[in-house]
């Protein structure tokens, strides 16, 4: 039996037997679906007092509770401020945080001012940092 391209394409969108796979195999699949190192641009808006990012979230955080549980073994919410809760998911071991002086509003007078806006615990966890 020959399958059309459309049949193959639609069959790749769903796998109804996935929940029946052993947990160990599903676990490996979710881990392989994690994006690997990302460049996470960090922005700070003084008007709302929050750190924000335009970088896309790892998709595993949104697929289902099982994938989210696996993703949260690596990704954690970071960059809370005194005015806002943490809202940026980051894997501090492999993600690179990009801090551009122009990404902060109003622009800080120095790199020190930029760091003072961030939680010291979060800064201490970052292993890869890019700045300009």
- Is 4 within a domain? no
Distance between CA 6 and CA 114 in Å, rounded?
A: 51
- Is 16 within a domain? no
Supply the pLDDT for residue 47. 81
Number of separate domains in the chain:
1
Supply the pLDDT for residue 10. 60
Segments forming the whole domain that contains residue 99: 37-57+73-131
- Is 118 within a domain? yes
- Is 25 within a domain? no
- Is 97 within a domain? yes
Whole-prediction pTM value?
0.77
Give the closest residue to 42 by CA, choosing from 90, 108, 94, 93: 90
- Is 81 within a domain? yes
Mean pLDDT by 10 residues, the chain (132 residues): 62 81 95 94 82 91 94 94 89 91 62 71 89 80
Distance between CA 119 and CA 92 in Å, rounded?
A: 14
> What is the per-residue DSSP string for 42-96?
EEEETTTTEEE--SPPPTHHHH-HHHHHHHTTT-EEE---SSS---EEE-TTTPE
């Amino acid at each position: 039996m020959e399958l059309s391209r459309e049949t193959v394409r639609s069959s790749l969108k769903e796998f109804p037997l996935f929940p029946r796979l052993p947990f160990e195999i599903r676990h490996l699949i979710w881990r392989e679906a994690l994006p690997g190192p990302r460049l996470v641009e960090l922005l700070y808006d003084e008007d709302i007092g929050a750190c924000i990012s335009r970088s896309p979230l790892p998709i595993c955080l949104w697929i289902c509770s099982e994938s989210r549980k696996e993703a949260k073994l690596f990704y954690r919410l970071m960059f809370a401020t005194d005015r806002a809760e943490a809202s940026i998911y980051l894997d501090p071991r492999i993600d690179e945080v990009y801090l551009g002086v122009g990404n902060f509003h109003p622009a800080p007078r120095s790199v020190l001012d930029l760091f003072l806006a961030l939680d010291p615990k979060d800064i201490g966890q970052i292993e890869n940092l890019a700045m300009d």
